[in-house]
Amino acid sequence: MLNTHILEILLLAGFAAGFVDSIAGGGGLISLPVLLALGVPPHYALGTGKLASTMGSLTATRAFIKKRIFNPVLWKATIVATLMGAILGVALSQLVSAEHLKQIIPFVIVMVAVYMLFFAPRKTAQLSTPYTFKPAVKSGSIIGIILGCYDGFMGAGVGSFWTTTVMAIYKLDLLTASAVARVMNFVSNITALIVFALFHKVHYIIGLSMGIGFIIGTQIGAHMAIRFGAKFIKPIFLTVVLMVAGHLMWAQI
């Protein structure tokens, strides 16, 4: 049962996730542990988290396409592969028991948080890659399948993985790579959301409540990113993530 206190927590968690996601990436590293800490079963936490993150990633996707930083037509093979990968990832998650999934998630979150601390790229406003860039069909499809599958199965930190991967393979600048990451993240998010919904693993009131906070946090975080940069929020973000993940791991001991 949801009460005012729980709804406030969901809004605040969504706000925090959207805020840090727009600055340092990895909003799912906050939203997913919070859902688990509130007692939402693991499969429902994954599905419900997709509803919230889809609401946030839609806003960013529209902005990147509208500003002509990303052309979806040129990336259609990668988009299709990401969609297929997300379906596969959700299907695989249904094969894992709730108990095992609850044990796996905290450790994955900690590993991704460590990756973001030492390896995740910093965002920049510089744009050097033309809007007409088209990735190779084979490499784009392989990346889409792998990262789409991960996003469907777990998804924490996938945006940062996208950014790092396309920068390394296609030599894209950070802004363009971030645009690719946001759009592909939206594709896998909405695909996974639909599949989770078909499995009846989405709590819509919880997801919408967190999603509203996610949208607000994304908007404010974007302005803060322009003014202060990722260095301002990353230490706070990682502290919160590690504390929540540590709590979840402690609960499993």
Average pLDDT over every residue of 211-232: 75
- 22-50 pLDDT, tens digit per residue, is 766 678 888 988 999 899 999 999 999 99
With tokens 């695909």, the residue in question is 191
Full-model pTM: 0.83
User: What pLDDT does 156 receive?
Assistant: 81
Which residue pairs, CB below 8 angstroms and at least 24 apart, start in 42-46? 42/98, 42/101, 42/102, 42/105, 43/93, 43/94, 43/98, 43/101, 43/196, 43/199, 43/201, 44/201, 44/202, 44/203, 45/105, 46/93, 46/101, 46/154, 46/155, 46/192, 46/196, 46/201
pLDDT at 227 over 80: no
pLDDT of 244 reads 61
* C-alpha dihedral sign at 62, 65, 68, 69: positive
How far is C-alpha 207 from the geometric centre of its chain's CA atoms? 14
pLDDT of residue 220: 84
pLDDT recorded at residue 125: 44
Q: Which of 57, 16, 5 is nearest to 210 (CA)?
A: 16
Higher pLDDT, 174 or 248: 174
Judging by beta carbons within 10 Å of its beta carbon (0-12, 13-18, 19+), is residue 16 exposed, middle or buried?
Answer: buried
Q: 29, 160 in Cβ contact below 8 A?
A: no
Query: Which structural domain, as residue segments, surrounds residue 53?
Result: 4-252
pLDDT digits (tens, 9 = 90+) for 48-65: 999 999 998 887 788 778
Is 124's pLDDT higher than 50? no
Residue carrying structure tokens 């902005």: 63
Rounded to an integer, the average pLDDT of 195-207 is 95
Average pLDDT (197-219) is 93
Say which range, 8-12, 129-133, 141-145, 215-219, has the weakest mean pLDDT: 129-133
- Residue-averaged pLDDT of the chain: 83
Share of the chain above pLDDT 70, in %: 81
Looking at residues 87-92, what average pLDDT do you find? 96
Tell me how far apart the 2 most distant CA atoms of the chain are, in Å.
52
User: Is residue 129 a contact partner of residue 180, using CB atoms and an 8 Å limit?
Assistant: no
- Name the residue among 18, 2, 103 with its Cα closest to residue 55: 18
Q: What is the number of domains present in the chain?
A: 1
45 within 8 A of 200, measured Cβ to Cβ: no
